[in-house]
Structure 1
Amino acid sequence: MNAKTPHPAIGGNWASLLLPIAADDSIEFDKLGEEIDILIEAGVDGIYSNGTAGEFHNQTEEEFDRIQAMLAERCEVSSMPFVIGACQPDPLIMLNRVRRAAALDPRAIQVILPDWWPLTDAEAVDFLKRAAEAAGGTPLILYNPPHAKRVLTPKELGAVCAAAPAVIGIKLADGDASWYAEARRHLSGLSLFVPGHHLATGVREGIAAGSFSNVACLSPRGAQIWTASTRNELDAALDLERRICTFMDAHIVPFRRELGYSNVALDKLLSAIGNWGPVGTRLRFPYRSIDMAEAVRLRCIAGCELPELFL
């Protein structure tokens, strides 16, 4: 493996690597390779593995290694930036994932705070320092999603990350105007990655470096064009954001709110609606999958309501 190289700050539109799952619950690695190639061809700013949508919580360590090796090999050949998610609820397993991920020289490694039992601030700092040691100089991205057992406030995140300088960015949920004010006050030195469907608002509020994007699940190329528009056509980008949120609220969120499907199921539904790759809607057991017929039904609606994403 190549020697460690400097890692510049990251930002922009990062596409999630979604796992194509066969009927027998195996990962279809041939389709996974095809998916990576499609994302590279789409020209996204980067690809990240093993976020929630990558089902990091439901794979073996052998599968983890194979996924990351495939991503690293294809991205290195094409000079595509990549981030590896080493997330795992068990801290010792996660630290071992961090060590193995670092050997592949990603742009950064994403970790979560172990949450079988929520960590105190001091415990969070201890963990992040240990993760930094395991990463051996590769920067860290802290993932603090809204479904974490402990969702830290901007002030808490700022204090924890200040004590662990290897953390260069945070993937997090945003909030109202007061939340953004707190984020500007306490998180100004970090690259913040807001939810994909709120990217234009995050840019307008002056805090968003980019997004690990659910909009890229729907359309990697369309999300890339939209991301570029937040830099030079912000009013138009905000208008598209409003329509994306309207589409999500009307057609996607009800699958979670009313029918109990997971966020992973929703992201795979978005990918199937976009119909850009071989992912499908199937999740690994025991999680329920949304029927592919729903994706087919919503495909025309998405094209009519969000035509800019499918040019």
Structure 2
Amino acid sequence: MTTPRYRRCILATCCVPWDERFEFEEDIFRRSVRHQIASGIRDLYIFGTAGEGYAVTETQFDTITRVFLDETRIDGVQAMVGLISHSLPTIIERIERARDMGARRFQLSLPSWGVLSDAELKTFFRETCGRFPDCEFLHYNLMRSGRIITGTEYGVLAAEHENLVATKNSTADITRLQSLFTDAPQLRHFITEVGFAKACHMGDCGFLISFLSTNFPRALDYFRAGCERAPAALATITADFDGLIATFKEAVGNTAHMDGAFDKLFCRIHDPEFPLRLLPPYEGVSNERFERYRDQLRSLHPLWLP
């Protein structure tokens, strides 16, 4: 069997808190990062879609990256910096600056102003993975980019770039999951909650945590059950999923549609001072809707509170 290039773990986002003037709340952010580490989450990243990597200025990118790297300089903790931009030169410059700060792991998303052709896809990975051979790269495979990379395509890219080490896939489609493990076994594939229970029977996948982050010990139990391929333990936890998903979707309703709006609900479950606002023009969830979400968890799913 092929050993994947990245360790098997839970991979978690670090959301960015903003004050009323949409300035970075450094103290709250540091507290949130420390809380995840203390809770046993050792692989963290900033600036995915939930971390508003698509919205930050270059100054904000540098400031938050510096703080994040400072908080994650701990033995056993691996930090990853997300890169979302329509501009490949901007992505390259961000890698260069974060690399100067000490970052060596990066999360790539494809530029989405126009869907990349096969030749453009090859260029994108050559100018990121190929340009920085001393760094490791994870690719975030999401439909917002207009193109989903297949398992077969990952196999080709992984053969060309030894520092392409992992992927993130939010899917429960069995055919797509099977292709990831069959056609690109050298990459560690991180799968979200619903798909993870299926994927762990196909290969040694990682767990990309989202709504289970309201209770880290139970999320760790779910990850261990997947690693052990324990069907009874997996079934016990997955039985809650439909209710948990319905609860946070009902709370948010049609008031917000960005990933960060959901993930900041989960952050606030742990820290009542964590602000829910997103960088404009996007809207976060109101305090009233958060309270409804928390009360519904308390009433219907108390095991998923901290």
Specify if TM > 0.5. Answer: yes
How far residue 259 of structure 1 moved from its aligned partner, in angstroms, is 4.8
How far residue 44 of structure 1 moved from its aligned partner, in angstroms, is 0.6
Check the 8 A contact 2:172/2:198 in 1, yes or no: no
Task: Note if 1:198 corresponds to 2:195.
Answer: yes
Task: Note if 1:51 corresponds to 2:52.
Answer: no
Structure 1 residues 136, 184: CA separation in 2 closer, same or farther (over 3 Å shift)? closer
**Correspondence list, 1:174-253, <5 A:** 174-206=171-203, 208-211=205-208, 213-215=209-211, 217-232=213-228, 233-248=230-245, 250-253=246-249
Secondary structure of the structure 2 residue equivalent to 1:261: coil
1:226-259 Cα deviation digits (max 9, x unpaired): 32232344421233123124321x2233567855
Of 20, 30, 45, 2:17 maps to 20
**Correspondence list, 1:83-122, <5 A:** 83-106=80-103, 108-122=105-119
Secondary structure of the structure 1 residue equivalent to 2:121: helix
Tell me how far apart the structure 2 counterparts of residues 230 and 276 of structure 1 sit (CA, whole Å). 28
Tell me how far apart the structure 2 counterparts of residues 75 and 251 of structure 1 sit (CA, whole Å). 32
Of 284, 291, 299, 1:296 maps to 291
How far residue 221 of structure 1 moved from its aligned partner, in angstroms, is 4.1
Tell me how far apart the structure 1 counterparts of residues 180 and 30 of structure 2 sit (CA, whole Å). 37
Tell me how far apart the structure 2 counterparts of residues 56 and 279 of structure 1 sit (CA, whole Å). 18
How far residue 191 of structure 1 moved from its aligned partner, in angstroms, is 0.5
Structure 1 runs (4+) greater than 6 angstroms displaced: none
Of 245, 259, 266, 1:270 maps to 266
Secondary structure of the structure 2 residue equivalent to 1:204: coil
Secondary structure of the structure 2 residue equivalent to 1:40: helix
Check the 8 A contact 2:222/2:233 in 1, yes or no: no
Deviates more, 1:175-184 or 1:113-122: 175-184
User: Under a length normalisation based on structure 2, what TM-score does the superposition of the two structures give?
Assistant: 0.88
How far residue 133 of structure 1 moved from its aligned partner, in angstroms, is 4.0
Tell me how far apart the structure 2 counterparts of residues 288 and 252 of structure 1 sit (CA, whole Å). 16
1:66-119 Cα deviation digits (max 9, x unpaired): 111111112114542211113322111111111222334446211111221111
Deviates more, 1:85-94 or 1:175-184: 175-184
Tell me how far apart the structure 1 counterparts of residues 32 and 227 of structure 2 sit (CA, whole Å). 28
Secondary structure of the structure 2 residue equivalent to 1:229: helix
How far residue 307 of structure 1 moved from its aligned partner, in angstroms, is 4.1
Structure 1 residues 271, 74: CA separation in 2 closer, same or farther (over 3 Å shift)? closer
Tell me how far apart the structure 2 counterparts of residues 223 and 255 of structure 1 sit (CA, whole Å). 22
Tell me how far apart the structure 1 counterparts of residues 305 and 53 of structure 2 sit (CA, whole Å). 29
Check the 8 A contact 1:188/1:207 in 2, yes or no: no
- Length, aligned pairs only: 301
How far residue 264 of structure 1 moved from its aligned partner, in angstroms, is 1.8
Q: Which has the higher helix share?
A: 1
Give the partner amino acid of 1:267.
D
Structure 1 residues 256, 309: CA separation in 2 closer, same or farther (over 3 Å shift)? closer
Q: What is the Cα-based RMSD across aligned positions, in Å?
A: 2.4
1:166-214 Cα deviation digits (max 9, x unpaired): 2111112223222233223212221101124432222133252232x21
Structure 1 residues 121, 163: CA separation in 2 closer, same or farther (over 3 Å shift)? farther
Check the 8 A contact 1:125/1:161 in 2, yes or no: no
Tell me how far apart the structure 1 counterparts of residues 179 and 146 of structure 2 sit (CA, whole Å). 21
Secondary structure of the structure 2 residue equivalent to 1:47: strand
How far residue 287 of structure 1 moved from its aligned partner, in angstroms, is 0.3
1:264-290 Cα deviation digits (max 9, x unpaired): 212212323x23464332111100111
Of 77, 80, 95, 2:77 maps to 80
**Could you tell me which residue of structure 2 aligns to residue 164 of structure 1?**
161
Percent identity over the alignment is 19
Check the 8 A contact 1:18/1:279 in 2, yes or no: no
Gaps of 5+ in 2: none
